[in-house]
Amino acid sequence: MRRPGRLAGAIVALVATLVPLAAEAQVPASALIRDAEIEQLLRDYADPVLAAAGAKRGAVQIILIGDRSFNAFVADGRRMFINVGAIMEAKTPNELIGVIAHESGHIAGGHLQRLREQMANAQILSVIGMLLGGAAMVGTARSGRDSKVGDGGTGAMGIMAGSYELARRSLLAYQRSEEQAADKMALGYLTATGQSPRGLLETFKRFNQESMFKTASIDPYLVSHPLPMDRIANLEEQAKRSPYFDAKDPPALVARHELAKAKLFGFIAKAEEVGRRYPASDTSVPARYARAIIAFRYKRLADALAQIDGLIRERPTNPYFIELKGQILLEFGRPREAIPLLRKAVAMVPGAVPIRVMLGHALVATEDKANVDAALRELSNAVQREPENSEGWQHLAKAYGLKGNEGMASYAAAQASFTAGDYKQAANHAARAKERLPPQSPGWLKADDILNTRPPKQP
């Protein structure tokens, strides 16, 4: 599991969320997490639901955010963001699937685009108010009265303030209606896929318990989401009518969910918390997984290797245990030993780009020219599958450097910087690439594209 160095471009400020975000400006770059095992699990959760929502397979990317709060959101019609906290706190796969179904409702309903339109309407209402207020002030001035005192000025300010409040309440009412629509759509998707809506209901009950002391004095017309009790009341009757309300998650899916949770606790939580949650007396596979990871994090190499070796002996067909051992060896400066493990993991899950990038990294880290062609092959494959994979481009630049191809090294470095959002550095690398590559060659043309691409506006 890895955190990319930067976010590839800015995330738009407008989001639709399961619960309100504390700050909706953008996702911090350091918060993005890549992990092949958890990404595959989330895709397996999401694919049936998204298909029921009418989305084409692969059309929606699921992105992990390193935030321990239970939340998820969509920022456009192509990307769904899920906090690791939602996985760590979800007691069952069904709870997380319910969250995904809700967010799929926002995507299928085109809520973000319509919310943009509503925001434009709200701005128009506000502008009209300001114009009316300005007209009142002008009228007051022309009548010879001071607009700062007396009824004329106060009335003008009241028009402007009132129009802003009307616009705000109109927008919030619209957001609440869309949240309720997403809840209803989620129930439909869960029914269509033969899954229980119980998890979605349990999630809202959890939110209600967490917020029960905070909502007593809240004006329900001044929030963007229905209050938890209202959502529960709206959902419960409909949910219990589902023929699948008592359906259970398949045991194999529950086992994968528990492994994903253990992995996240191992990589994110403090050692004390991991020790309490997965004590030495717990000999289950998830507990041993978490303890192997925490040993790795705290640089207890022998302990980490002994524990992961035990897991591999018990589950030799689990590619993610093999990947973890490869990562441990790579990050402890033993890339040659990591390579065969990572090659095996890639062969078992060839579509797992994070593992393929790690294999390319290990091949480059040997600094052995005999491994360069293999590194170029693996990393080129990775960035073709995921053109926005900044880490893959970084290692590809190093591989081209070892090969002595300075033009392509500069081009790959330009792509790495561009996908990481460092547009100035990307332009510098792209200019060097054009100087070193044959004019009109594929790399030269792509470097030229980078130089002529206008960076996205920051929110």
Question: Residue 4: pLDDT band by 50, 70, 90 thresholds?
Answer: low
Q: What is the pLDDT of residue 208?
A: 62
DSSP 323: H
Report, as an integer, the average pLDDT of 113-130.
44
Mean of the per-residue pLDDT values of the chain: 81
Q: What is the pLDDT of residue 17?
A: 53
Question: Residue 156: pLDDT band by 50, 70, 90 thresholds?
Answer: very low
DSSP 458: P
Q: Is 313 a residue whose pLDDT tops 60? A: yes
CA distances from 349 to 318, 343, 353, 356, 393 (A): 10, 10, 9, 9, 21
Domains and CATH numbers, the chain: 16-108 (3.30.2010.10), 111-196+214-240 (no CATH)
Q: Specify the higher pLDDT residue, 105 or 142.
A: 105
Question: Residue 286: pLDDT band by 50, 70, 90 thresholds?
Answer: very high
Task: Write the pLDDT tens digit of every residue in 226-235.
Answer: 555 666 777 8
Q: Which residues contact 172 (CB under 8 A, 6 or more apart)?
A: 221, 222, 223, 224
Task: Write the pLDDT tens digit of every residue in 320-342.
Answer: 999 999 999 999 999 999 999 99
Residue with tokens 């690791």: 84
Task: Write the pLDDT tens digit of every residue in 8-63.
Answer: 333 333 344 555 443 333 445 447 899 999 999 999 999 999 999 999 888 899 99
Task: Write the pLDDT tens digit of every residue in 193-204.
Answer: 999 999 998 888
Retrieve residue 209's tokens: 């318990």
Question: Residue 403: pLDDT band by 50, 70, 90 thresholds?
Answer: very high
Closest by CA to 101, choosing from 67, 63, 74, is: 74
Indicate the Cα dihedral angle 32, 354, 400, 377, nearest 10°.
-160
Q: Are 129 and 166 in contact (CB under 8 A)?
A: yes
Alpha helices in 145-227 (DSSP H): 150-192, 198-211
Q: Is 268 a residue whose pLDDT tops 60? A: yes
Rounded to the nearest 5°, which phi and psi values hold at 62?
A: -105, 125
